[in-house]
Amino acid sequence: MGVNQNMYQQDIKIQKGVKNTVQFQFKNSDQKLLSMSNSGTFVFSMFDAINQRLLLEKPITILDDSVTFNIITNQTAVSNTLHINTAQTLKVGQIINGFGIKPNSVIVAVTTNTITLNNYTSLPVTSSTVLTACTPNLRGLGELDFLEADTVDLAATAYKFSVKYLDQDGEFLPAYSNTYYGINGLINLADDIYPLFKPSQTVISFLKTLDTTTGLYYYPSGNIYAYPEFSGNSALHTLVMYMTKFKGVVKILGTLNNNPDNDAWYSLIDTLTYTGDTDIDYVTITGVYTYIKIIYTPSTRPGDTTNDNPTYFGSFDKVLYRS
C-alpha cells in the first residue's frame, strides 16, 4: 500500500508443478509496516498478461497477529504486570506498544488474567489506554500458497497479478495504487524443477536386404542415436516393439563407434523370437552405447525356399526407443 511507492518491489518467480509459498509485506506510504490482522480479506488474482484472462484467484492468509486491547485494572504505580481480559489472545514474544509502555517491551509470561513484560511501564497505565501487541517478524505479513494443481497446466511465462481486499462494506478495493493507478505486479512462472520430457524415437523404416550367403531376407533399421552423453555406466534403454502376427527373430545390437557405416561395427546385445504375435512387447537393456540398431528376420514358411512371404510371417510394424 502507499501512493508513489512500488507495491511489488521485485518480480515474483515461482516454479511450475510444485508447491510455492510467497509472502507479501504490507507497508504504508512512509514504508512503515501496517497492522493487518483486522484489515479484512485480501485476495490474490493472477491473469494472462495479454488478454487479461483470469487464471487463478486465491485468498492471502494474514500471518500478522496484531491485536489492540485495554487493561481491565488501572495501574496504581509503574509495574511490569498488566491485567487483561481472559478473551485477549496475547502470546509470549509479542511486543507491546502504547502510552506508558517503554520501547521494546516484550511479553515474557501470560497467565489467565495477567501479562508480564520484560520492562516496567514508564507511567502507570490506565484502562482507557489503547495498547497494541504483535509479533515483530509477522507485522504486516501475509502468505499465499501456490499448490501443484494451480500451475501444472499453465505455460511457463510471465503473468500479471494484483492484490485486492474486501472491506467491511463488502466491497473490493485495490490494496495498492500509485499516482497513475498502476495496480499490477509481474509474476514469472518457471519450469526448472523437473527435466523436460523427451519423446521416444520412433523407428518405422527397415531396409529389406538379401543375405547372399543364406538366401534369406533381413530388415535392418538405421543407426538409432543412444545419447551416450546423458548416460551413466549403467544406462537404461527401453525398446517397445509393435507387431501383427509376426513370426521371426529380432536382434538388438549396439556400438560405441561414432560413425558406424556398416553392421560390422555392432555387437549383439539381445535376440528375441516371436511365433505369430499380435502384440506390443518391450525389452530393457543396460550399457553405454553410441548407437543402437534393430534387425528383424522373418521366418520361412515350411516348404518355401526363402522368407519373402508376408502372408505367413505377418508384419513387424515399428519400434519406440528411448534412453
Q: What is the pLDDT of residues 281-315, one digit of tens each?
A: 999 999 999 999 999 999 999 999 999 999 999 99
Average confidence (pLDDT) over 155-166: 90
Whether the predicted pLDDT of 9 surpasses 70: no
**CATH code: domain of residue 181:** 2.60.40.1930
Whether the predicted pLDDT of 212 surpasses 80: yes
CB-count burial class (<10 Å; 0-12, 13-18, 19+) for 267: exposed
Residues 212 and 314 grouped into a single domain: yes
What sign does the dihedral 224-228-231-232 (CA atoms) show?
A: positive
The dihedrals phi and psi of 150, each to the nearest 5 degrees, come to -70, -30
Q: How high is the pLDDT of residue 52? A: 87
Q: How high is the pLDDT of residue 2? A: 35
Whether the predicted pLDDT of 30 surpasses 80: no
Residues 80 and 177 grouped into a single domain: no
Confidence band, pLDDT 50/70/90 cuts, at residue 320: very high
> How does the average pLDDT of the chain come out, rounded?
89
**CATH code: domain of residue 76:** 2.40.30
For residue 1, tell me if it sits in a domain: no
Average confidence (pLDDT) over 313-319: 95
> What b-and-e string marks burial along 52-76, b requiring 16 or more CB atoms within 10 Å of the CB?
eeebeeeebebbbbbbebbbeeebe
Q: How high is the pLDDT of residue 25? A: 87
Q: How many domains does the chain have?
A: 3
For residue 207, tell me if it sits in a domain: yes
Between strands 12-15 and 185-190, the pairing is: parallel
Q: Which of 4-18, 33-47, 109-123, 189-203 has the lowest mean pLDDT?
A: 4-18
Whether the predicted pLDDT of 123 surpasses 90: yes
Whether the predicted pLDDT of 3 surpasses 50: no
Higher pLDDT, 170 or 273: 273
Domain-ending residue, one of 190, 222, 254: 190
Q: What is the pLDDT of residues 131-150, one digit of tens each?
A: 999 998 998 899 999 999 99
Average confidence (pLDDT) over 236-261: 94
Residues 157 and 275 grouped into a single domain: no
Q: What is the pLDDT of residues 38-63, one digit of tens each?
A: 667 899 999 998 888 999 999 999 99
Whether the predicted pLDDT of 74 surpasses 90: yes
Confidence band, pLDDT 50/70/90 cuts, at residue 177: low
In percent, the amount of the chain with pLDDT more than 90 equals 67
Q: How high is the pLDDT of residue 252? A: 97
Residues 179 and 305 grouped into a single domain: no
Domain of 305? 201-322
Residues 149 and 40 grouped into a single domain: yes
For residue 3, tell me if it sits in a domain: no
Average confidence (pLDDT) over 125-131: 93
Higher pLDDT, 300 or 1: 300
Stretch (H or E) spanning 161: strand 158-166
Residues 214 and 111 grouped into a single domain: no
Residues 85 and 210 grouped into a single domain: no
For residue 228, tell me if it sits in a domain: yes
Q: How high is the pLDDT of residue 38? A: 65
Residues 181 and 318 grouped into a single domain: no
- Amino acid at residue number 253: L
**CATH code: domain of residue 313:** 2.60.120
Q: Which of 74-78, 190-194, 237-241 has the lowest mean pLDDT?
A: 190-194
Average confidence (pLDDT) over 167-192: 80
CA 19 to chain centre: 6
Average confidence (pLDDT) over 116-144: 93
For residue 91, tell me if it sits in a domain: yes
Residues 154 and 242 grouped into a single domain: no
For residue 107, tell me if it sits in a domain: yes
For residue 195, tell me if it sits in a domain: no
Residues 290 and 258 grouped into a single domain: yes
Using alpha carbons, list the distances in angstroms from residue 173 to 7, 40, 152, 278, 304.
Answer: 15, 11, 30, 65, 86
For residue 7, tell me if it sits in a domain: no
Beta strands per DSSP E along 227-287: 236-244, 246-255, 267-277, 280-286
Domain-ending residue, one of 121, 137, 153: 137
Residues 84 and 53 grouped into a single domain: no
Residues 43 and 185 grouped into a single domain: yes
Q: How high is the pLDDT of residue 304? A: 93
